């Protein structure tokens, strides 16, 4: 995907680095300016590359899969929230589209080293790691790194290259063991969810270290600086000048519990009633301070936490965010917050996705309670709800694929298929991806977003549905066709399919541009994004074009999935996730039940111009979006 370039490119380095591990060859390519203009970057350019470069039906853990690290035009600039990179591949967990987002300095450093995109292909014969230093690329032996934890790998790499200033992306033992939901870790942050860490492990690649001090050219520097100041001011004004400190996302646990928005006991309920108690312990005993993942963040959603003493003594680390803590408390009925903090820390050290790990443990406990699996099948472990010691032990066994951990390391869908005996009904997943810590029974737009999200039951894109329905956040989309959420009941179903389409087209923009999603939750809306991208690149991009680019990318990802066989049947959420909760504060709220899911899905397909019977984008829609070449499917 190269092109000759006759004029200066702003907002990009204009370079793609391709590393073939099988041949140990490195190639630098110019990016295609025309394609950049159509997709901008991030998951947009990543989807274009992945669709073009890997054939249908490949084994996600085979050498044909590619690991594509992408940045957006705003990554590593002064733009608000500009500390994000993505990785795209075919997921070993879902067998469809994988994208994983990570905050921190790694993505911006890759750009300062000279590259907007990094494509990893092939498979090394022996363990390797890659060092990128201002355009110089080395493939080095990683034998000494094998089986080490994430922090141990980081320490060894920086010792070996004798430079603490490198930013590292590494896999832990879970990635080496090919756990299908293994992450790629950047410090305490993760390229998470869909198993990109397992893909990296399958290539015998254990780490990528980057260092750079280049600059990203800006088309109109003064206009861009003005847009940056205006964007940051709007975000701070929306958060009363405090950002998300001190509790970060974890501080939402009490309110989400009250809203009926936290899946509990493997989705048998949507609240537990212990949110305030759990967060009070975390705030008083575990939380040390707020933290930002990259220099210049004004929101500071991160947390520095620890367990000071006792059985679950855990060192000071970044972690314990909302999704992770809910996965090891509400999902599994564990009210020992110290154990939950310790479990999330272990996941980061092993390179495990916290949401999928908590989800698959909850599935196993449900199977155990219902007599589907027995103690002799669990290596002698009693998989009882709330048993903190068992929960922590299962994290270790999953990471190393020991005993029952080998089955659970396949993910909930494959584990249920292997176990059988009706356990499939207890598998809380869509397209193979375990459900996260927000519940569609609290607001029906979230339910249809879970079903139709391209990577499965995703916590990144569907969150717009929860914020729109339950929190009445309109994302500035009312002038672009969104109904005022204040006029719509969160439990109503009519109209939710239509609004989901617009929320997705808008919600994918941060992943294209290379910025944090929390900024668009707090006032960085289409006018601000259009001004930022236009002044950065010199291209005249308005709000309508941004939405059109979002729609194009969403449809291209859907076509990737359709090529792999995804159809309407794959867009349904589990039956249990549609039912009235079995217990808890909302168990008597009949409106929680999702009664007309099919109608919402029809409405969604109609809004998207997708075939209602198959869920595949129509030829007319693809042509309208400049994707007509894909219409032959």
The DSSP annotation for 368-401 comes to: HHTTSS-GGGTTT----TT-HHHHHHHHHHHHHT
Look at residue 525 in the predicted model and tell me its pLDDT.
98
The list of the chain residues with pLDDT below 50 reads 4
Please choose, from the candidates 505, 491, 409, 378, the residue with its C-alpha nearest in 3D space to the C-alpha of residue 453: 505
d(CA 203, CA 63): 7
Look at residue 474 in the predicted model and tell me its pLDDT.
96
Contacts of 160 (CB under 8 A, 6+ apart): 140, 144
Look at residue 188 in the predicted model and tell me its pLDDT.
92
Angle, helix 543-563 to helix 496-507, in steps of 10 degrees: 100
Contacts of 17 (CB under 8 A, 6+ apart): 26, 27, 28, 29, 114, 115, 117, 118, 119, 132, 137
Contact 22, 124 (CB under 8 A): yes
Helix/strand/coil for 594: coil
d(CA 325, CA 302): 13
pLDDT for 410-447, tens place per residue? 999 999 999 999 999 999 999 999 999 999 999 999 99
Q: Which neighbouring-strand residues pair with 119? A: 18, 68
**pTM here?**
0.97
Look at residue 6 in the predicted model and tell me its pLDDT.
52
Beta strands in 181-309 (DSSP E): 184-186, 189-191, 205-211, 287-291, 302-307
Contacts of 7 (CB under 8 A, 6+ apart): none
Place of tokens 């990471």: 399
Contact 12, 3 (CB under 8 A): no
Look at residue 241 in the predicted model and tell me its pLDDT.
86
The CA R_g of the chain, rounded to the nearest whole Å, is 23
CATH 1.10.569.10 fits 245-430, yes or no: yes
Please choose, from the candidates 137, 156, 147, the residue with its C-alpha nearest in 3D space to the C-alpha of residue 201: 147
Look at residue 81 in the predicted model and tell me its pLDDT.
97
Look at residue 631 in the predicted model and tell me its pLDDT.
82
Look at residue 95 in the predicted model and tell me its pLDDT.
98
d(CA 114, CA 104): 18
| DSSP summary character for residue 282 | I
**Pairing of the two strands 117-121 and 15-20:** parallel
Same fold, 245-430 and 440-630: no
> Given phi > 0 = left and psi -120 to 50 = alpha, else beta, which region is 589?
beta
Look at residue 633 in the predicted model and tell me its pLDDT.
64
CATH architecture of 440-630: Orthogonal Bundle (1.10)
**Pairing of the two strands 15-20 and 25-30:** antiparallel
What contacts 24+ positions apart, CB below 8 Å, involve 410-419? 410/180, 411/93, 411/180, 411/181, 411/195, 411/356, 411/360, 412/356, 412/359, 412/360, 412/363, 414/180, 415/360, 415/363, 415/364, 416/363, 419/367, 419/372, 419/373
d(CA 543, CA 341): 41
Look at residue 246 in the predicted model and tell me its pLDDT.
84
> Can you give the residue ranges of every domain in the chain?
15-211, 245-430, 440-630
Helix/strand/coil for 168: strand
| DSSP summary character for residue 269 | B
If one counts every other C-beta atom within 10 angstroms of the C-beta of residue 407, the result is: 21
Please choose, from the candidates 459, 406, 460, 418, the residue with its C-alpha nearest in 3D space to the C-alpha of residue 174: 406
CA 357 to each of CA 119, 343, 504, 602: distance values in angstroms, whole numbers, following the listed order = 28, 10, 26, 33
Please choose, from the candidates 313, 578, 290, the residue with its C-alpha nearest in 3D space to the C-alpha of residue 448: 578
d(CA 434, CA 559): 22
Q: In sequence order, what DSSP letters do the residues of 517-553 get, joined into one string?
A: HHHHHTT--HHHHHHHHHHHH-----HHHHHHHHHHH
Please choose, from the candidates 324, 325, 329, 330, the residue with its C-alpha nearest in 3D space to the C-alpha of residue 263: 330
Look at residue 473 in the predicted model and tell me its pLDDT.
95
What CATH superfamily classification does 15-211 receive?
Answer: Aldehyde ferredoxin oxidoreductase, N-terminal domain (3.60.9.10)
């Amino acid at each position: 995907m190269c092109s000759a370039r006759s004029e200066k490119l702003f907002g990009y380095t204009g370079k793609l680095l391709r590393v073939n591990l099988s041949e140990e060859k490195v190639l630098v390519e110019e990016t295609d300016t025309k394609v950049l203009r159509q997709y901008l970057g991030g998951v947009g350019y990543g989807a274009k590359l992945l669709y073009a470069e890997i054939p249908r039906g490949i084994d996600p853990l085979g050498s044909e899969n590619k690991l594509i690290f992408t940045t957006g035009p705003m990554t590593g600039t002064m733009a608000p929230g500009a500390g994000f990179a993505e990785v795209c591949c075919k997921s070993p967990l879902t067998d469809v589209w994988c994208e994983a987002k990570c905050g921190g300095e790694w993505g911006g450093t890759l750009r300062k080293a000279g590259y907007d995109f990094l494509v990893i292909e092939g498979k090394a014969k022996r363990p390797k790691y890659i060092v990128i230093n201002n355009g110089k690329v080395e493939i080095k032996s990683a034998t000494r790194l094998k089986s080490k934890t994430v922090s141990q790998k980081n320490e060894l790499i920086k010792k070996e290259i004798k430079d603490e200033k490198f930013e590292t992306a590494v896999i832990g033992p879970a990635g080496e063991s090919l756990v299908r939901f293994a992450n790629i870790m950047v410090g305490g942050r993760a390229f998470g969810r869909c198993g990109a860490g397992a893909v990296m492990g399958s290539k015998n690649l254990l780490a990528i270290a980057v260092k750079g001090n280049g600059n990203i050219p800006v088309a109109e520097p003064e206009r861009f600086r003005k847009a940056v100041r205006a964007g940051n001011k709007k975000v701070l004004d929306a958060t009363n000048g405090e950002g998300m400190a001190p509790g970060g996302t974890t501080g939402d646990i009490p309110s989400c519990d009250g809203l009926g928005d936290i899946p509990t006991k493997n989705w048998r309920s949507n609240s537990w009633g212990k949110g305030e108690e759990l967060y009070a312990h975390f705030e008083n005993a575990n939380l040390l301070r707020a933290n930002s993942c990259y220099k210049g963040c004004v929101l500071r959603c991160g947390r520095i936490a620890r367990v000071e003493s006792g059985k679950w003594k855990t060192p000071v680390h970044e972690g314990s965010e909302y999704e992770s803590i809910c996965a090891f408390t509400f999902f599994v009925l564990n009210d020992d917050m110290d154990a939950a903090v310790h479990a999330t820390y272990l996941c980061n050290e092993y390179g495990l996705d916290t949401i999928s790990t908590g989800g698959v443990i909850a599935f196993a406990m449900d199977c155990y309670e219902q007599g589907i699996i027995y103690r002799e099948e669990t290596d002698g472990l009693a998989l009882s709800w709330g048993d903190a010691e068992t929960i922590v032990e299962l994290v270790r066994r999953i990471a190393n694929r020991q005993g029952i951990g080998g089955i659970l390391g396949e993910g909930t869908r494959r584990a249920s298929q292997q176990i059988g005996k009706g356990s499939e009904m207890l598998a809380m997943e869509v397209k193979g991806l375990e459900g996260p810590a927000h519940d569609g029974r609290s607001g029906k737009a979230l339910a249809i977003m879970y079903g139709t999200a391209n990577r499965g039951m995703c916590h990144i894109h569907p969150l717009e549905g929860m914020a729109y329905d339950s929190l009445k956040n309109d994302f500035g989309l009312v002038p672009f066709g969104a109904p005022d959420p204040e006029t719509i009941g969160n439990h109503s179903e009519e109209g939710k399919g239509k609004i989901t389409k617009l929320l997705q087209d808008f919600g994918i923009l941060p992943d294209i541009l290379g910025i944090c999603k929390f900024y668009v939750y707090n006032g960085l809306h289409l006018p601000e994004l259009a001004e930022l991208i236009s002044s950065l690149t010199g291209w005249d991009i308005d709000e309508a074009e941004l939405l059109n680019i979002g729609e194009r990318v969403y449809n291209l990802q859907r076509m990737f999935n359709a090529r792999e066989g995804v159809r309407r049947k794959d867009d349904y959420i589990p039956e249990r996730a549609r039912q009235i909760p079995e217990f808890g504060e909302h168990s008597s709220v009949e409106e929680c039940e999702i009664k007309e899911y099919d109608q919402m899905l029809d409405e969604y397909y109609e809004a998207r111009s997708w075939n209602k019977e198959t869920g595949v984008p129509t030829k007319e829609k693809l042509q309208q979006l400049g994707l007509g070449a894909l219409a032959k499917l």
